[in-house]
C-alpha cells in the first residue's frame, strides 16, 4: 500500500454492486505515461454489469468507470503529444499487447489481452481501477485529445457510448450523406447515433418499442422518422428502405423484424448486448443478402477521429450530471432506464476525501 500514487475512489466490494468510498494506489507514472486528474466519468451499462458480476468476471474491489474526461497534470519524459493542462479522455481500454494481429492492423480493441480501464488486468498483473476516482495514470498511446470546444461532462460518454456507434457507422459506410440509417433504441448509445447520423448527412429513423419517445426523437434530436417496432403496419410500410441499422438495445428483442427493414445487401450492426441469445433464422439474412455484424468499442484512432468529428459538429451526449454520493441511486435509476440519456459523475466536484478506506 505504501508505494504508488495515492488515489481516492468509490468501489464495489461484492455482487450487491453497492459502491462506497475506497482508498487505493495507482502505479507511478512511467516515461510514456500521462497522469490525469479526473473531471467527469460517465456511468455505462457495462459498469452496471461488472459491479454486479453479471458477466462472471468481477475482480473485487472494483472502481468502475471507463468514460473518463480529465485534465493532464503531469507527463513522463517520453510523452510527445500531451502536456499539463490538456483536456484528455480515456475509454474502455488503456493498453493492449501491441504485437498481435489486431494490434498490428489498427483494431487493438480486439486484442486478446486488452487491458481494460476498469476490472481488467494490467500488464504487471495488477487489477485496473477505473474513472470513479480522482486520478488516473495511462499510457500515452491510449489517451485521447478531447476538443476544448466540447463541454467535458457531455463529452465523457463519447469515450464509450459514442465510439460504440461511431466506429461501426464508419466501418460499414453508414456515414454517407443521403443514406438511410435506422437506430434501434433511444438510450445512451442510440441518442448519440442519431446525432452522428444527422451530422453525416443521413436520413435517420429511430425504431423504438413504444411511441413514448417519438417527440423527443423527432423534435429534439432531429431524427427524420420514428417507427414503433410493436406496430406491424408501420414496420411493413418501412420494409426494405434502410441501408443500415445500428441496434443499441440491451434487452432481449426480436431481430427478424429489424432485418426486414433493410434494403438488399443492407448492413445491421449489433452494439447492445442482451443476455439472451439473438434469434436468427437463416432466411432472414439469405433473402436480400443481408449482413449482420457485431461491434465492440473501436480503435484508438477511431476514437480520436470520433472526438474530432464531435468537436467539429458540436456533438455531445445528453447528460445528467451527479455527484459521487449519488452514484448508487444513479445505478438503480440506470437499471430501469430512468435517465436521459447518460449519468455523468462530476468527480472533481465531489467530496471523495475524508472517506474511510
Find the distance separating the first CA and the last CA of the chain, reported in whole Å.
12
CB nearer to Zn ion: pick between 100 and 339: 100
Closest by CA to 345, choosing from 161, 148, 137, 133, is 133
Binding site for Zn ion (CB under 5 A): 44, 46, 96-97, 100, 103, 111, 160
Give the span between the Cα atoms of 349 and 46, in whole angstroms.
24
Rounded least distance, CB 190 to Zn ion, Å: 14
CB nearer to Zn ion: pick between 105 and 149: 105
What φ, ψ does residue 164 adopt, rounded to 5°? -60, -30
CB nearer to Zn ion: pick between 156 and 160: 160
Rounded least distance, CB 22 to Zn ion, Å: 20
Rounded least distance, CB 202 to Zn ion, Å: 24
CB nearer to Zn ion: pick between 261 and 345: 345
Q: Is the dihedral of CA 87, 90, 96, 99 positive or negative?
A: negative
CB nearer to Zn ion: pick between 226 and 341: 341
Give the span between the Cα atoms of 205 and 112, in whole angstroms.
35
CB nearer to Zn ion: pick between 97 and 170: 97
What φ, ψ does residue 179 adopt, rounded to 5°? -75, 160
Rounded least distance, CB 286 to Zn ion, Å: 33
200: number of Cβ within 10 Å: 20
Cross-strand partners of 332: none
Rounded least distance, CB 43 to Zn ion, Å: 9
Rounded least distance, CB 46 to Zn ion, Å: 4
Q: How many residues does the chain have?
A: 357
Rounded least distance, CB 50 to Zn ion, Å: 10
CB nearer to Zn ion: pick between 24 and 92: 92
Beta strands in the chain (DSSP E): 5-12, 19-26, 33-42, 68-75, 87-90, 93-95, 115-116, 135-139, 144-145, 180-184, 203-208, 225-228, 242-247, 262-270, 291-294, 319-322, 342-346
Placement of cell 485534465 in the chain: 71
Amino acid at each position: 500500500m505504501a508505494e504508488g500514487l495515492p488515489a481516492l475512489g468509490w468501489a464495489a466490494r461484492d455482487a450487491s454492486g453497492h459502491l462506497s468510498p475506497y482508498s487505493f494506489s495507482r502505479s507511478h507514472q512511467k516515461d510514456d505515461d500521462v497522469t490525469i486528474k479526473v473531471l467527469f466519468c460517465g456511468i455505462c451499462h457495462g459498469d452496471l454489469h461488472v459491479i454486479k458480476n453479471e458477466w462472471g468476471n468481477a475482480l473485487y474491489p472494483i472502481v468502475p468507470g471507463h468514460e473518463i474526461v480529465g485534465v493532464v497534470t503531469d507527463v513522463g519524459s517520453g510523452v510527445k503529444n500531451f502536456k499539463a493542462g490538456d483536456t484528455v479522455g480515456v475509454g474502455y481500454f488503456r493498453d493492449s499487447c501491441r504485437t498481435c494481429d489486431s494490434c498490428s492492423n489498427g483494431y487493438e480493441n480486439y486484442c486478446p489481452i486488452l487491458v481494460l480501464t476498469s476490472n481488467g488486468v494490467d500488464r504487471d498483473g495488477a487489477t485496473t481501477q477505473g474513472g470513479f476516482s480522482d486520478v488516473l495514470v495511462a499510457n500515452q498511446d491510449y489517451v485521447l485529445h478531447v476538443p476544448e470546444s466540447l463541454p467535458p461532462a457531455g463529452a465523457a460518454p463519447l469515450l464509450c457510448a459514442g465510439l460504440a456507434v461511431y466506429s461501426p457507422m464508419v466501418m460499414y459506410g453508414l456515414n454517407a450523406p443521403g443514406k438511410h440509417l435506422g437506430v434501434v433504441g433511444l438510450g445512451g448509445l442510440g441518442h448519440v447515433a442519431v446525432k452522428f447520423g444527422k451530422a453525416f448527412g443521413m436520413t435517420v429513423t429511430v425504431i423504438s418499442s413504444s411511441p413514448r419517445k417519438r417527440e423527443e426523437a423527432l423534435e429534439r434530436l432531429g431524427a427524420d422518422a420514428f417507427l414503433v417496432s410493436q406496430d406491424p403496419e408501420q414496420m411493413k410500410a418501412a420494409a426494405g428502405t434502410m441501408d443500415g441499422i445500428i441496434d443499441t438495445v440491451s434487452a432481449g428483442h426480436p431481430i427478424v423484424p429489424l432485418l426486414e427493414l433493410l434494403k438488399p445487401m443492407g448492413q445491421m450492426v449489433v452494439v447492445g448486448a442482451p443476455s439472451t441469445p439473438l434469434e436468427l433464422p437463416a432466411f432472414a439474412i439469405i433473402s436480400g443478402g443481408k449482413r449482420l455484424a457485431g461491434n465492440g468499442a473501436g480503435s484508438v484512432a477511431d476514437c480520436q477521429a470520433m472526438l474530432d468529428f464531435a468537436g467539429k459538429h458540436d456533438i455531445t451526449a445528453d447528460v445528467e450530471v451527479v455527484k459521487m454520493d449519488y452514484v448508487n441511486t444513479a445505478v438503480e435509476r440506470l437499471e430501469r432506464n430512468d435517465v436521459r440519456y447518460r449519468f455523468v459523475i462530476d468527480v472533481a466536484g465531489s467530496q471523495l476525501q475524508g472517506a474511510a478506506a
